[in-house]
Amino acid sequence: MLFVDQVRIFVKAGRGGNGVCSFRREKYVPQGGPDGGDGGNGGSIVMVASRRLTTLLDLRYQQLYEATAGEPGGGSNCHGRTADDVTITVPIGTIVSDEATGEILADLTADGQSQIIARGGRGGRGNQHFATSTNRVPTRFDQGTPGEERWLSLELKLLADVGLVGFPNAGKSTLIASITAAHPKIADYPFTTLTPNLGVVAWKDDHSFVVADIPGLIAGAHEGKGLGLQFLRHIERTTFLLHLIDISEWTTEDPVASLAILRKELAAYDERLPSKPFAVVGTKLDIKGNEQHLRRLQTSCKRRKMPFFAISAATREGLDALITYVGQQVESLRAPCATIS
């Protein structure tokens, strides 16, 4: 399935039905009073979050959503029928903004959470409402009001506890495949992951946390190189980050320099990201060779007081310690005082 995390759509709520001017006409009842009914309310546009969806793909191909108008009122105090609302289902984590003003109209972060995005017009009042002691034959009635209409920008930000970030071929896909039931594409060439992947890690009895694998960054990503920064929005909501650095004997990159570049690219996207709690993970421990890269990165992290773990997702060496540490960090960050940024 094509992963789509940004779309724009147009929504138009229904117009309210008109009230009517009517007078009671009944045999043997002379001078019947006003009995014009009210118009029905127009239908609204409602956005609902669902865990069954993981992409905004459907909204890319249907950009217009329009609700029907309310029915006009009738005689004998008959009220017009209120129109049905139009419901748009989106993935959990969708942010809805007014394209013209930039105002955030909804941030749907829970399954079943809903929000009215465009409110339907109100039905007009019939002439029965305007009868007074001095005006017993009112001819006034109200027209229905128009419904709201606007262009919307929808942006999906996946909800995960932990975000995996690193350069291409750093082992992110292999790690998430080893610790979760996710099945990302794994290959020995760069940019095998072209869309974010989510997986659930079970640890300590019935505890768990959600991990997001973010497609690889490269130096200059903030200038649009590689995949650019288009997927980093998906770690904005995470509470903990894992920086994956290749320490295998085959890499030609200095691991300390790679970590510095990675942190720089995160800051270039959002200056708040580097302040998130994080740990450094040296990957591909099973092919560490003479351990030159491992020792260099480990020493640098120790000097800078950065949590460091060396793992091999292929052999599962070091994974238990990493999972336990991350699980403990996530649990503490889920405390009532913690907030989602």
What per-residue confidence (pLDDT) applies to 190?
40
What per-residue confidence (pLDDT) applies to 195?
64
What per-residue confidence (pLDDT) applies to 218?
58
Q: Are residues 216 and 311 in the same domain?
A: yes
Task: Check if the beta carbon of residue 41 is closer than 8 Å to that of residue 83.
Answer: yes
What per-residue confidence (pLDDT) applies to 341?
39
Asked if residue 200 is part of any domain, the answer here is yes
Q: Are residues 188 and 238 in the same domain?
A: yes
Asked if residue 340 is part of any domain, the answer here is no
What per-residue confidence (pLDDT) applies to 116?
97
Task: Check if the beta carbon of residue 5 is closer than 8 Å to that of residue 56.
Answer: yes
Q: Are residues 204 and 150 in the same domain?
A: no
**CA dist 14 → 9, 119, 267 (Å):** 16, 8, 44
Tell me how far apart the 2 most distant CA atoms of the chain are, in Å: 108
State whether the Cα torsion 288-235-49-327 is positive or negative: positive
Asked if residue 292 is part of any domain, the answer here is yes
Distance CA 307, CA 175 (A): 18
Task: Check if the beta carbon of residue 120 is closer than 8 Å to that of residue 41.
Answer: yes
Q: Are residues 36 and 58 in the same domain?
A: yes
Q: Are residues 148 and 187 in the same domain?
A: no
What per-residue confidence (pLDDT) applies to 229?
57
pTM: 0.70
Domain count of the fold of the chain: 2
List the pLDDT tens digit at each of the 341 positions of the chain. Answer: 466 788 999 999 999 999 999 988 777 666 678 999 999 999 999 999 998 887 888 898 899 999 999 999 998 889 999 999 999 999 888 999 999 999 999 999 899 999 999 999 999 999 999 988 888 889 999 999 999 999 999 998 877 889 898 888 888 888 988 888 655 444 443 444 446 777 888 887 778 888 888 776 655 554 554 444 566 777 788 899 999 999 999 888 899 999 999 898 888 888 888 899 999 999 999 998 889 999 999 999 999 999 999 999 989 999 999 999 999 999 888 765 444 43
What per-residue confidence (pLDDT) applies to 72?
95
Q: Are residues 134 and 179 in the same domain?
A: no
* Strands, sheet with 207-213, edge to edge from the N-terminal-most edge strand: 197-203, 207-213, 162-166, 240-246, 278-283, 308-310
Q: Final residue of a domain: which of 131, 156, 181? A: 156
Asked if residue 338 is part of any domain, the answer here is no
Which structural domain, as residue segments, surrounds residue 127?
A: 6-156
What per-residue confidence (pLDDT) applies to 220?
56
CATH number, domain with residue 134: 2.70.210.12
Q: Are residues 175 and 321 in the same domain?
A: yes
What per-residue confidence (pLDDT) applies to 30?
63
Q: Final residue of a domain: which of 100, 133, 156? A: 156
